[in-house]
Amino acid sequence: MRKRNTAFIFILSLLVAGVSTGCENQRSREDYSEIEVEKGDIADGLTREGRIAVKAAYENISLLGETFNTPEKDSDKVVLEIEEVYAVPGLAVNEGVPVIKLTDESVQAYKEMLEKEQKKAERAVSLAQMDKEEKSLDIEYTYQKSIADGQNAEEKYNLTMQTLENNIKSLQDEIAACQERIRSLESNNGTSTELTVERSNLSSLQTRLQTAQNEKESKEIQAKQEYDQAQLNYDYAEEVKENAEKELEDTVTSAQTYLTSINDAVEQFETNMGDGVIKASCSGTVVSVSCKAGEALKTDKNIITYADSGQITMTVGVSQNKILSFHVGDAVNLKLDVYENEVISGEIINLEPNASDDTEQNEYQVTVRMTDNEKTVYTDMTGSVVFTEKEVNDVLFVPVESIIRRNTASYVEAYDTDGSVKEIEVKTGFSDGENVEIMSGLEEGQKILVKNMEDESEETK
């Protein structure tokens, strides 16, 4: 009877032990989560908190064509009329999507106005070029004449003076001869008629001499002036020619510049609204709209205001002893509280000393810009900027909480083939505080165990 009881007790003990072991295995599977060893990059750095700022952008229609839309009467001015406004406050838009539709009639009228000005400008260029060709011949003739006149100026002056002097000398000689004839007639009792003729001739010669002497004085002044002018024209002939040619060239250039301007205006209009549609100039969220259907399109006015998704920034403070590690253009990561555990790419766009005296140590204001514009972000959203100070690439890594430290060794846990939990010794490397590099002991994709955080918190109660 005793032997039967002993056997019964032994079997019962085995059953209890089996149940107990099953319960332990069941508890282990509930206490742990199974994850895979990953391969990639891990980094560590400086984290600073800040708030999002979204820069405003504006739809401001600046039409080059308005320079030419200047009729004598304001009532004749071509007006672009709005048919429909697609943009409404709160609407998220991408760059290039339609935001305003213009009436077909007003668009066509504006095109015709520009084409008319274009033809006038083309005609002005042709006339300026023809005028240049014609006047260039006159300029060259004037230049060559100035050179020739200058080279012959002295000879011409001397010839003029010599001619005047010879004329006077000739008259003086005639007067002397006439006087001699009169004296001869008087000495030889010449007839009164002969004396009268000679005396009349003498008077005429004396008058002519006086005229010639007076004329010599005035013509000498004139000849000197002509000489000086010829010399002046000679000295400045090259400069005068260049200035005249430049004036013609400037006229052509001015006409061509005007034509280029009107061509640019035509191209701008065709590109931006030739189809009658005004498109968003940036991606972002519409903040306000200051135009409506039926109104004339206002140029050089802010008709739509956007929160520009390409200008989303966060400014944070960085101490002076850290700032030398960072430069404009460096990549950073942003984390926004609203997008928990998501990393958003960014870059540093500005570094400047903090103008405030509130900080105990010298601090710099670092402004970073989001380069990942896929998120919906608003001004004053809170978050942080992570500046990378150290990074390792293309390495195996596991969560920090999966590592078990014992003395100088490190281990991770994994399920064995029989379902029990086993330890695997690993060699660890760099850690960013969340993940740790595995230098040996594991392979990519290998499954390990991470103890559930809820179970750990319950055990610590």
CATH number of the domain that residue 169 is part of: 1.10.287
249, pLDDT greater than 90: yes
Confirm if 101 and 146 have CB atoms less than 8 A apart: no
Q: Quick check: is 447 in a domain?
A: yes
Q: Which of 239, 256, 273 is the last residue of a domain?
A: 256
Average pLDDT score over the chain: 86
Confirm if 198 and 178 have CB atoms less than 8 A apart: yes
Query: In this predicted model, what pLDDT tens digit does every residue of 379-433 receive, in sequence order?
Result: 899 999 988 878 889 999 999 999 999 989 999 999 888 888 899 999 999 988 8
Provide the Cα torsion 212, 213, 217, 218; round to 10°: -30
Chain-centre distance of CA 38, in angstroms? 44
Residues 227 and 341 in one domain: no
16, pLDDT greater than 80: no
What are phi and psi for residue 429, nearest 5 degrees? -130, -130
Q: Quick check: is 420 in a domain?
A: yes
Q: Quick check: is 71 in a domain?
A: no
Q: Quick check: is 19 in a domain?
A: no
Q: Which of 256, 278, 296 is the last residue of a domain?
A: 256
Residues 313 and 449 in one domain: yes
**Strand runs labelled E in 371-446:** 382-399, 404-406, 409-415, 421-431, 435-440
Residues 319 and 184 in one domain: no
Q: Per-residue pLDDT averaged across 229-250, rounded?
A: 93
Residues 311 and 204 in one domain: no
Of 103, 66, 57, nearest in space to 268 by CA: 66
Q: What is the pLDDT of residue 238?
A: 93
Least confident of 15-19, 94-98, 196-200: 15-19
Identify the CATH number of the domain in which residue 47 sits.
2.40.30.170
Q: Identify the DSSP state of 226.
A: H
- How many angstroms separate the CA atoms of 136 and 144, rounded? 12
The residue range of the domain holding 38 is: 30-52+304-459
Chain-centre distance of CA 19, in angstroms? 78
- How many angstroms separate the CA atoms of 335 and 383, rounded? 5
Confirm if 444 and 459 have CB atoms less than 8 A apart: no
- How many angstroms separate the CA atoms of 368 and 349, rounded? 5
Least confident of 114-118, 222-226, 276-280, 353-357: 353-357
Residues 403 and 317 in one domain: yes
Q: What is the pLDDT of residue 74?
A: 74
Q: Per-residue pLDDT averaged across 274-290, rounded?
A: 92
Confidence of residue 29 (pLDDT cuts 50, 70, 90): low
Residues 330 and 431 in one domain: yes
Confirm if 405 and 46 have CB atoms less than 8 A apart: no
Q: What is the pLDDT of residue 453?
A: 62
Give, for 334, the enclosing helix (H) or strand (E): strand 331-336
Name the pTM for this structure. Answer: 0.56
Sheet holding 98-102, edge to edge: 82-85, 98-102, 277-279
2, pLDDT greater than 50: no
Q: What is the pLDDT of residue 355?
A: 62
Query: In this predicted model, what pLDDT tens digit does every residue of 48-80 receive, in sequence order?
Result: 999 999 999 999 988 888 888 887 777 788 999
Of 373, 374, 308, 321, nearest in space to 347 by CA: 373
Q: Identify the DSSP state of 418.
A: T
- How many angstroms separate the CA atoms of 259 and 251, rounded? 12
Q: What is the pLDDT of residue 66?
A: 86
Percentage of residues in the chain having pLDDT higher than 70: 90
- How many angstroms separate the CA atoms of 199 and 179, rounded? 8
Count: domains in the chain: 2
Confirm if 317 and 354 have CB atoms less than 8 A apart: yes
140, pLDDT greater than 70: yes
Q: What is the pLDDT of residue 1?
A: 44
Residues 233 and 315 in one domain: no
